[in-house]
Chain A
C-alpha cells in the first residue's frame, strides 16, 4: 500500500469551530489532492497541490483552505465548520506524470453538529 496517512480518522466538531485535517505521504509524490465524498455525488475535488506552496482550487473549494509547506504534508482547513461540511474526506497522491494512477488514504469521517 502507498504510504498515505490521514489524521484524524474520525472527528466530531461543533458548527463554527475551525478544523484541520492532515494528509501525510512517504512516497515523495508531487501531486496531492483533497476530495469529499457524499452520497449521490461521488468524489468531488476540493483543492489540490502540484508542489510545495503550489495549490489550486477544485470544484467545491468554498469554505476550505489548504496549505503545503513540505512535500509530505497537505493540510485541509475548514475555517468555520458548517453542517454541510459533514462528509468523508479523502486525500490522494500521484506522481508528476499525467499518465499515472492516484493512491488514496483511508479517509476521515467528519461530523459537524
Chain B
C-alpha cells in the first residue's frame, strides 16, 4: 500500500473560496512535499516542509505538518480557476535511501 493518502479524493469549490487537502502517511519522514499536476502534464513542486517544521507559507499556499499524527494539510487561499489540478503529497522516509513516495492525490476543481 502507498505511504501517503490524500483526503478528499475530489474537491469542487467556487472561485475565491479556500481549498483544504489533507495527507496522511505511515512511517517516519525526513520531509513532506506537495506537488501539483495539471491534466496530462508532469508534476510541479509546490512546497517542502521538513519534519522539524510545523507550518510553512508560500504565496497563497499554507502547509502544516503534524508528525505526531503523521498528517499534513495544504491550504490554498482565495482559489482561482487556474488552481484546478490534481494535488499530491510526497514523503521522503527516514532512512529511506532518498526514495520519494507519493500519495493518491486530490483532484481540485475551482469553478467560476
Contacts and interface: CB of A to CB of B under 8 A. Distances in A.
Interface of A: 31, 33, 35, 40-45, 48, 50, 56, 58-59, 90, 92, 94, 96, 98-107
B2 A42 contact: yes
Interface string B73-104: 00000000000000010101000011111111
A96 B92 CA distance: 12
Interface of B: 2, 4, 6, 30-31, 33, 35, 40-45, 48, 50, 88, 90, 92, 97-105
Nearest to B30: A98
Contacts of A50: 97-98
Name B's interface SS: strand
A92 B43 CA distance: 9
A45 B1 CA distance: 12
B23 to A, nearest CB: 11
Given A41-B104, A50-B98, A56-B97, A99 B45 contact: no
Nearest to B42: A104
A42 B88 contact: yes
Contact of A98 (B31, B35, B103): B31
A106 B41 contact: yes
Contact of B50 (A92, A96, A99, A104): A99
A106 B6 CA distance: 23
A48 B104 contact: no
B42 A48 contact: no
Given A45-B99, A48-B100, 11 more contacts: A41-B2, A41-B104, A42-B2, A50-B98, A59-B2, A92-B100, A101-B45, A102-B35, A102-B43, A107-B40, A107-B41
